[in-house]
Amino acid sequence: MLGSVPLTPKALDDYRSVIGQPLIDEIRQLAEPLAGARVLHLNATSFGGGVAEILTTLVPLMNDVGLNADWQVIRGSDDFYNVTKAMHNSLQGMFVDWSPEMQDVWLHHNQLSADLFDESYDFVIAHDPQPAGILSLLKERDAPAAAGKWIWRCHIDLTEAQVQTWDMLRRYVRDFDGAIFTAPEYVKDGMPGPQVFIVPPAIDPLSPKNVELPDDTYRAILERYGIDYERPFIAQISRFDPWKDPLGVIEAYRLVKQELPELQLVLIASMARDDPEAWAWYERIVRRAGEDFDIHILSNLNGVGNVEVNAFQRAQVVIQKSVREGFGLVVSEALWKRRPVVAGRVGGIPMQLIDGETGYLVNTVEECAERISTLLADPDKADEMGAAGREFVRERFLITRYLRDYLQIFRTLRGLEAAPGHLLLPSAGKEAP
């Protein structure tokens, strides 16, 4: 066994005030024929990033509706995380000299995890490239643990994936029974083997990061970190890496600050173990910020947890200036808090944000600064956009919808019913020749 991630139980009925009783009843009906099914989620880290946040709620809710769900983290080392970060960047379009030595490191650590995989499950969901080799390695030795239905959940935008890296990975992905992507355009032509499903991620409206905050709590958190709540501030909460363009955020802030000298900027990231690149980017961000004491660079290492992020996502404007993005849960999180978002027109962000209605989509630093200025100059418009954004998220991007989608996929893979049309890849024929 790899070792289970300890989780706090959650109850689907607690979401009644958010989603209504009919959806709760639908979810429980979908779960009935799956009662007792053993479900395992595999990923690379129990903390930091959207996958871990989703599983913290999704796994307990699966248990609450009658499944026997678990979450385990694969074995890794610094070498492994360096390689998988390079793999992640390569799959998102960055040039990486993918070498046989790097592939060996990836395979070696997948083998270590496969050697510890000594139980069988009805459904196994392997999240992203890190554990994608385990199934093939189990099948090579005809291990009973390879039984059941295996699903590869890809959270990455593969549209510009480097051919060499994808060609290596697809050899392992072809063994899965199903594959879940965030958007149809992320599915590579020649996708081998598994049945493909389209499922955007979702947020937990009842998590400490997303529940309502009393005003005194909000103000106390800002004061603790040196932010003046009587002055406007903007915030980006994302990993420190090139895809989130934190340096571009600083440049946009400086353009706005020329017109609004009292403006403050907050940049926050979780320093996850599987992201060794974050420290190098932290140093670059600090150097770019220089001696501007209105720029606050924070992380979990400063004690910033989910409640603190909740407060900072109530900034006058929330930014997500990504240049490449699989989905970007932080967009839905901010909209749920009734705050308008200015975000890059990339990846899964346009799925979450209605340009001109719940925020603005931008392509450049100058556009970003212009839209931030517009919202700061018109608080009523910002509040109106934020309110519209909350309802948009309620309809499409809450964890209860995500749970329902997984149950429908499980039923499909068991042959109980065909998948609903909204879960299927719109055009058939993505299989390799």
CA–centroid distance for 46 within its chain: 13
CA distance 193 to 78: 32
pLDDT digits (tens, 9 = 90+) for 192-245: 789 999 999 999 999 999 999 999 999 999 999 999 999 999 999 998 888 899
Average of pLDDT values for 315-335?
94
Q: What is the domain partition of the chain in residue ranges?
A: 12-202+399-423, 215-396
CA–centroid distance for 299 within its chain: 17
pLDDT for the residue 3: 82
DSSP 69-121: EEEEE----HHHHHHHHHHHHHHTT------HHHHHHHHHHHHHHHHT-----
Structure token digits, residue 270: 């979780």
pLDDT greater at residue 48 or residue 384 = 384
pLDDT for the residue 276: 67
pLDDT for the residue 339: 97
Kindly tell me if the per-residue pLDDT of 398 is higher than 90: yes
Quick one: which of 160, 70, 172 has its CA closest to 130? 172
We find that the CATH architecture of domain 12-202+399-423 is 3-Layer(aba) Sandwich (3.40)
Quick one: which of 246, 152, 203, 123 has its CA closest to 398? 203
CA distance 148 to 410: 11
Residue 153 phi, psi dihedral angles, 5° rounding: -105, 110
We find that the CATH architecture of domain 215-396 is 3-Layer(aba) Sandwich (3.40)
Quick one: which of 92, 68, 50 has its CA closest to 200? 50
What are 11's strand-pairing partners? none
Alpha helices by DSSP H, 260-378: 277-289, 306-312, 329-336, 349-352, 365-377
Average of pLDDT values for 156-167?
92
Kindly tell me if the per-residue pLDDT of 312 is higher than 60: yes
pLDDT digits (tens, 9 = 90+) for 62-78: 999 999 999 999 988 88
Q: What is the DSSP letter of 408?
A: H
pLDDT for the residue 274: 58
CA distance 128 to 154: 5
pLDDT for the residue 308: 97
pLDDT for the residue 79: 92
Kindly tell me if the per-residue pLDDT of 190 is higher than 80: no
Q: Strand, coil or helix: what is 30?
A: helix
Kindly tell me if the per-residue pLDDT of 258 is higher than 50: yes
pLDDT for the residue 432: 33
The reported pTM is 0.91
Average of pLDDT values for 155-178?
93
Structure token digits, residue 11: 């109850």
How many residues would you count in the chain?
433
CA R_g for the chain: 21
Q: pLDDT category, 250, cuts 50, 70, 90?
A: very high
Tokens 């212009």 belong to 370
Supply the mean pLDDT for the chain: 93
Q: How many CB atoms lie within 10 A of CB 95?
A: 9
CA distance 291 to 71: 43
pLDDT > 70: what percent of the chain?
97
pLDDT digits (tens, 9 = 90+) for 272-310: 655 667 788 889 999 999 999 999 999 888 899 999 999
pLDDT for the residue 425: 83
Kindly tell me if the per-residue pLDDT of 430 is higher than 50: no
Structure token digits, residue 340: 């308008």
pLDDT for the residue 25: 98
CB 381 within 8 A of CB 373: no
pLDDT digits (tens, 9 = 90+) for 98-115: 899 999 999 999 999 999
CB 389 within 8 A of CB 358: yes
pLDDT > 90: what percent of the chain?
80
Kindly tell me if the per-residue pLDDT of 55 is higher than 90: yes
